[in-house]
Amino acid sequence: MSACLNAKVLANELVGPDVYLLRLAAGPIAAAARPGQFVMLRVAPGDEPLLARPFSVHGVEGEDVLILFQVRGRGTALLSQAAPGAKLVMWGPLGRGFELEAKRPALVAGGMGIAPLGFVARKLEDKGILFHLSSGGATQEAIEGLEKKLGTSLRGRLECRATDIHRLFHAAQEAAELSTSTAPVSGICTSTTMDGSYGEKGPVTLLLKNLLSLPPELRPDAVLACGPLPMLKAVAAMCAEKNVPCQVSLEAPMACGVGACLGCVLPAAGGGYVRVCQEGPVMDAAALDWGRIGA
Ligand SMILES: Cc1cc2nc3c(=O)[nH]c(=O)nc-3n(C[C@H](O)[C@H](O)[C@H](O)COP(=O)(O)OP(=O)(O)OC[C@H]3O[C@@H](n4cnc5c(N)ncnc54)[C@H](O)[C@@H]3O)c2cc1C
Ligand code: FES
């Protein structure tokens, strides 16, 4: 059930280059939100700018909603200045989230794609499912802080490794090996950067390629991805080739967020279009016609 409310800013912390973690008091939205869903948020008090902006729910803590956002233009620049105590109009949760039924899920984050996957990671931890996170970005500065922040938000440990390993989903064995009694491992994170300053050099799909080439019994049984469209297109193709179910969290320009303006459509498999705000933002990758998506 979604709600529209005046959400009080509790904190707005710089956590990376132009990246902020915003904490808002929004009990009804926090109670209803599922990983992968989003909110529409007016970025400043008053009427300017008029259009709200869509943001994934990065997490919920009690009655607080967390949003991880990057400054891209005027709206997000204004949002970065929102001070504790300010009240912002927000409605949600909106759209469809991730299905979290897999036993060996692989999360794939391109840059700010880590925003919805943070919520996924915490939910998987609650369910006792060990996950693998492949995280990619331009530089070490762009991703290391975000990974660390995600790690500290887990109850257990996010085991970060510079390079991939080929036994990631020996789950029980691996977790037992890595765990200490005080901090069990909740997830394993490997990274890539385009400049090679952190993790492997190259796109994040390098890591996914390694995971998908594991023997079937160790291979991820689901891939949950968020990032730029070209990355999602590549991820969808790799998963289709290996017959691994793939869910993608999509971004599109959104004016209304509730299915009315058709500003957010993408081509659907079999013809026609889907509205990212209604049928998504999380969709089965096979439901999209990637050939008609000019990524
Ligand atoms: C469902 C959904 C969830 C999102 N979740 C997050 C999130 O968790 N964290 C986050 O940082 N951002 C997220 N975004 C993107 C965020 O909504 C945009 O960055 C924001 O609206 C930009 O507003 P602006 O006024 O700062 O930029 P504008 O001045 O409106 O645009 C600046 C630049 O960003 C581009 N842009 C704007 N919106 C989008 C978009 N939706 N997709 C692709 N390019 C865009 C514009 O083309 C332009 O080049 C999400 C978008 C969607 C649709
Ligand atoms: S944003 Fe208006 S229909 Fe999706």
Confidence of residue 139 (pLDDT cuts 50, 70, 90): very high
The C-alpha atoms of residue 161 and residue 199 are separated, in whole angstroms, by: 8
pLDDT of residue 117: 96
Structure tokens at 69: 């956002």
**Mean pLDDT (whole number) for 182-205:** 88
For residues 175 and 155, which has the higher predicted lDDT (pLDDT)?
155
Q: Each residue of 10-69: pLDDT tens digit?
A: 999 999 999 999 999 999 999 999 999 999 999 988 888 889 999 999 999 999 999 999
Distance of CA 261 from the midpoint of ligand 2 (Å): 5
Q: Which of 113, 122, 118 is nearest to 281 (CA)?
A: 113
Q: Is the model more confident about 269 or about 163?
A: 269
Report whether residue 15 contacts ligand 1, using a CB cutoff of 6 Å. no
| Ligand 1 touching residue 251 (CB < 6 A) | yes
Contact partners, residue 267, CB within 8 Å, separation at least 6: 273, 288, 289, 292, 293
> Which atom in ligand 2 lies closest to the alpha carbon of residue 278?
4
Calculate mean pLDDT across residues 123-136. 93
Cα 251 to ligand 2 centre (Å): 11
CB 185 within 8 A of CB 179: yes
- Long-range contacts of residues 69-78, Cβ cutoff 8 Å, at least 24 apart: 69/19, 69/20, 69/22, 69/112, 69/115, 70/16, 70/18, 70/19, 70/20, 70/111, 70/112, 71/18, 71/19, 71/20, 74/49, 75/43, 75/49, 75/51, 76/43, 78/43, 78/44, 78/49
274 Cβ inside 6 Å of ligand 2? no
| Residue 65 confidence (pLDDT) | 98
Among 41, 53, 55, 256, which residue has the most ligand 2 atoms within 8 Å of its CB, making it the best to mutate? 256
Please give the DSSP secondary-structure letter assigned to residue 82.
P
ipTM above 0.90, yes or no: yes
* Residue 183 CA to ligand 1 centre (angstroms): 36
Q: What is the pLDDT of residue 127?
A: 93
Indicate the DSSP class of residue 26: -
Q: Is residue 275 in contact with ligand 2, taking CB distance under 6 Å?
A: yes
Please write the tens of the pLDDT for every residue from 105-127.
999 999 999 999 999 999 999 99
The domains of the chain, with CATH numbers, are 3-94 (2.40.30.10), 105-251 (3.40.50.80)
